């Protein structure tokens, strides 16, 4: 596929007016969480950006991320974005399989060496490469080989970004994230289980138009992972008022009270779930009545239980507490006994002294 400006042609082919293009750019700018004043720059970038080749690698994953992105909400937008890239390899979506599929990947790599974009979903087993392999090639080898000629890598989903579910304690496959293995390429992490489809496409759109977006210290685009869900939550006013649901079906939960006590991880989770929302902007987990699980954060599976309040201790405190009570009482009683005994002994050993003995001692010394 020749690398040439993509959208003007596409627009013409679809009989789309310039006005539609401007509307598309305005919506895209909003989607990318850029300030509206950037819309003309988005338009310019789209008019001049070449169409990149994309290789999508799926490793230890559940295909949920692919499911999500292919069902992303506003088809006219995402269709255009997918028209704007050339998806040359995706073993779940492509018609070819086995050796033919691998040939497609190798051909795309050869043709676009140094320029193609690699999207990864799923983590990579490091204990034993044989745990996960495609066409006889281990995930580790395929990632290393494909990443070598990539312009950038997008880790889609928490598994690719941080190890995710496969890495959860006790991590039987020794699963690792893309960033644990590849150190010399720019990596954009788009975590989530799955990520919000619109966020995935917006990150791709950003890459197409402006290149690598601003990333936070965990490799996430700041546009979508700068604020906690808690800060943008519509239930936040109830947190501030001190109104909390005690159960998933009590009056408070129905009245929209805060789900903190039911284990919501919103305060420590960064994502735009509360504003961009899911399923065509219908709702998001907290709106559906369930606390946030924190799926955009590393190790979210092992962070102290989904239904435990964030402020509650995460460890083995109950047994520790019981042991402390027994030990404390025993030690206290023991200490007191020793002190009493000491007192009694002191009393028993007490020698009476009179003035004569003192005088005598003084003279002797």
Residue 239 binds another protein, judged by CB under 8 A: yes
Which tokens go with 52?
């990149």
Residue 171 binds another protein, judged by CB under 8 A: no
Among 100, 135, 324, 344, binds another protein (CB under 8 A): 324
Residue 193 binds another protein, judged by CB under 8 A: no
- Considering only 107-115, 203-211, 320-328, 345-353, which stretch makes contact with another protein by CB under 8 A? 320-328
Among 99, 255, 344, 358, binds another protein (CB under 8 A): 255
Among 53, 66, 139, 179, binds another protein (CB under 8 A): 179
Residue 329 binds another protein, judged by CB under 8 A: yes
Residue 209 binds another protein, judged by CB under 8 A: no
Residue 314 binds another protein, judged by CB under 8 A: yes
Residue 20 binds another protein, judged by CB under 8 A: yes
Which tokens go with 296?
């955009």
CB-wise, 100 or 324, nearer to another protein?
324
Shortest reach from residue 136's CB to another protein, in Å:
29
Shortest reach from residue 151's CB to another protein, in Å:
21
Residue 44 binds another protein, judged by CB under 8 A: no
Left (φ > 0), alpha (ψ -120 to 50) or beta: where does 256 sit? left
Q: Contact 80/115 with Cβ under 8 angstroms?
A: no
CB-wise, 211 or 332, nearer to another protein?
332
**Considering only residues 121-140, where is the footprint of another protein by CB under 8 A?**
none
- Classified as helix, coil or strand, 350 is coil
- Considering only 104-112, 207-215, 304-312, 349-357, which stretch makes contact with another protein by CB under 8 A? 304-312
Pairwise CA distance, residues 185 & 153, whole Å = 7
Q: List, in sequence order, every residue forming a beta bridge with 123; answer none if it has no partner.
A: 60
Residue 83 binds another protein, judged by CB under 8 A: no
Helix axes 39-48, 7-14, angle to 10 degrees: 90
Among 71, 337, 341, 358, binds another protein (CB under 8 A): 337
Q: Contact 170/79 with Cβ under 8 angstroms?
A: no
- Compute CA distances 253 → 150, 228, 288, 349, whole Å: 48, 21, 10, 70
Pairwise CA distance, residues 202 & 218, whole Å = 18
Among 127, 145, 214, 250, binds another protein (CB under 8 A): 250
Which tokens go with 149?
């000629």
Shortest reach from residue 103's CB to another protein, in Å:
33
Residue 113 binds another protein, judged by CB under 8 A: no
Which tokens go with 71?
């069902």
DSSP state string for 261-311: GGT--GGG-B-SHHHH-BTTTTB-TTTTT-----TTSTTGGGSS-TTS-TT
* DSSP class of 313: -
Per-residue b/e over 7-44, b at no fewer than 16 CB within 10 Å?
Answer: beebbeeeebeeeebeebbbebbebbbbeeebbeebbe
Residue 283 binds another protein, judged by CB under 8 A: yes
CB-wise, 99 or 326, nearer to another protein?
326
- Considering only 98-106, 113-121, 129-137, 307-315, which stretch makes contact with another protein by CB under 8 A? 307-315
Q: Contact 28/41 with Cβ under 8 angstroms?
A: no
Shortest reach from residue 186's CB to another protein, in Å:
15
- Considering only 61-69, 88-96, 205-213, 261-269, which stretch makes contact with another protein by CB under 8 A? 261-269
In degrees and rounded to multiples of 5, residue 254 shows phi and psi of -70, -30
Among 157, 163, 221, 291, binds another protein (CB under 8 A): 163
Which tokens go with 309?
């309040």
Q: List, in sequence order, every residue forming a beta bridge with 244; answer none if it has no partner.
A: 258
CB-wise, 75 or 130, nearer to another protein?
75
């Amino acid at each position: 596929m020749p690398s040439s400006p993509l959208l003007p042609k596409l627009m013409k082919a679809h009989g789309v007016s310039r006005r539609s293009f401007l509307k598309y750019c305005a919506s895209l700018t909003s989607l990318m969480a850029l300030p509206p004043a950037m819309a003309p720059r988005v338009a310019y970038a789209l008019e001049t950006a070449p169409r990149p080749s994309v290789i999508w690698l799926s490793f230890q994953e559940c295909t949920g991320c692919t499911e999500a992105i292919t069902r992303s909400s506003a088809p006219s937008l995402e269709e255009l974005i997918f028209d704007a890239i050339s998806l040359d390899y995706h073993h779940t979506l492509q018609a070819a399989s086995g050796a033919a599929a691998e040939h497609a990947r190798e051909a795309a790599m050869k043709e676009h060496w140094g320029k193609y974009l690699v999207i990864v979903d799923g983590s990579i087993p490091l204990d034993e490469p044989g745990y996960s392999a495609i066409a006889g090639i281990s995930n580790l080898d395929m990632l290393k080989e494909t990443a070598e000629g990539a312009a950038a890598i997008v880790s889609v989903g928490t598994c690719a970004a941080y190890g995710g579910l496969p890495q959860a304690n006790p991590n039987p496959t020794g699963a690792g994230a893309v960033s644990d293995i590849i150190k010399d390429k720019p990596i954009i992490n788009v975590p989530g289980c799955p990520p919000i489809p619109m966020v995935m496409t917006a990150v791709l759109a950003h890459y197409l138009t402006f290149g690598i977006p601003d990333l936070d210290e965990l490799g996430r685009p700041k546009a979508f992972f700068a604020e906690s869900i808690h800060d943008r939550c519509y239930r936040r006013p109830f947190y501030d008022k001190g109104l909390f649901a005690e159960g998933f079906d009590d009056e408070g939960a129905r009245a929209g009270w805060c789900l903190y006590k039911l284990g919501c991880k919103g305060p420590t989770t960064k994502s735009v779930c509360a504003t961009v929302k899911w399923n065509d902007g219908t709702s998001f987990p907290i709106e559906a009545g369930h606390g946030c699980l924190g799926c955009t954060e590393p190790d979210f599976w092992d962070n102290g239980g989904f239904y435990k309040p964030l402020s509650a201790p995460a460890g083995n405190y109950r047994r520790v507490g019981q042991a402390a009570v027994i030990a404390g009482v025993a030690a206290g009683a023991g200490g007191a006994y020793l002190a009493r005994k000491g007192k009694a002994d002191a009393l028993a050993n007490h020698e009476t002294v009179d003035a004569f003995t003192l005088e005598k001692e003084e003279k002797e010394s």
